Amino acid sequence: MTKTLLMSTKDPRWPENTDAAARVRHVALTRTEPRNAGWIAEEADVSRDTAVKYLERMADRGDLKVVETNEGRSYKPDSLTQFLREVRELAEEHSLDELTRELNAIGEEIDAWKDAYEVESLAELRQSIGREDLTGDERRERLEIIEEWEYNVEMRESIQLAIRLKSSLTTLGAESLGDGLSTKLPQEG
């Protein structure tokens, strides 16, 4: 086969209309470990210079943190920015009733785990992993529940902040959240 034929049969990694900035942003923000510009460029199917340009913009806006690693200057998502973005999205995309119902569902799920594993807290469930009377499968099941419980705790905190954000903006007279548009605070004067 010729090189041209091989190249033409390659499946595109990205949808045709995805621009370089969106690809770099997606790759950079979906990593948990710091990655250098070369690695991100390869994953995003862009040149290293293009990746650096967009990564530096994202770092300047606070979306990414720049860290030094063995691979040199690397980038990772800024956890505070990600958390605040999640809270804002929850507040914009869900009503107070929906958020309240989700808090209740989280509470009920945690209560069910407490009953099922005869514990009072996540810490107690963690400690129970060391019990000698548990089988390997029972320990693995508890480890899975611990991950779910941790996720629920994080979501509960995000939802509680989203509710406070909606309430605070309502008190301030801001335009309502939930229409997908950015919230505007009332003008002075």
Which of 65, 66, 155, 57 minimizes the C-alpha distance to 104? 155
Selected residue with higher pLDDT from 55 and 177: 55
Compute the average pLDDT of residues 130-143. 95
The confidence score (pLDDT) of residue 17 equals: 85
The answer to whether residues 146 and 122 touch, using CB atoms and an 8 Å cutoff, is yes
User: 74 has which bridge partners?
Assistant: 36, 67
Separation of alpha carbons 171 and 100, rounded Å: 18
The answer to whether residues 95 and 166 touch, using CB atoms and an 8 Å cutoff, is no
The DSSP line for 23-50 is HHHHHHHT-SS-EEHHHHHHHHTS-HHH
Separation of alpha carbons 116 and 95, rounded Å: 32
Separation of alpha carbons 184 and 95, rounded Å: 18
Predicted confidence (pLDDT) per residue in 138-185, tens digit? 999 999 999 999 999 999 999 999 999 988 877 776 655 544 434 443
Separation of alpha carbons 139 and 116, rounded Å: 14
pTM passes above 0.85: no
| Domains of the chain, residue spans | 19-77, 81-172
How many Cβ atoms sit within 10 Å of the Cβ of residue 180? 8
Q: Which amino acid is at 174?
A: A
The answer to whether residues 40 and 30 touch, using CB atoms and an 8 Å cutoff, is no
Provide the CATH topology of domain 19-77: Arc Repressor Mutant, subunit A (1.10.10)
Predicted confidence (pLDDT) per residue in 72-124, tens digit? 899 999 888 888 888 999 999 999 999 999 999 999 999 999 999 999 999 99
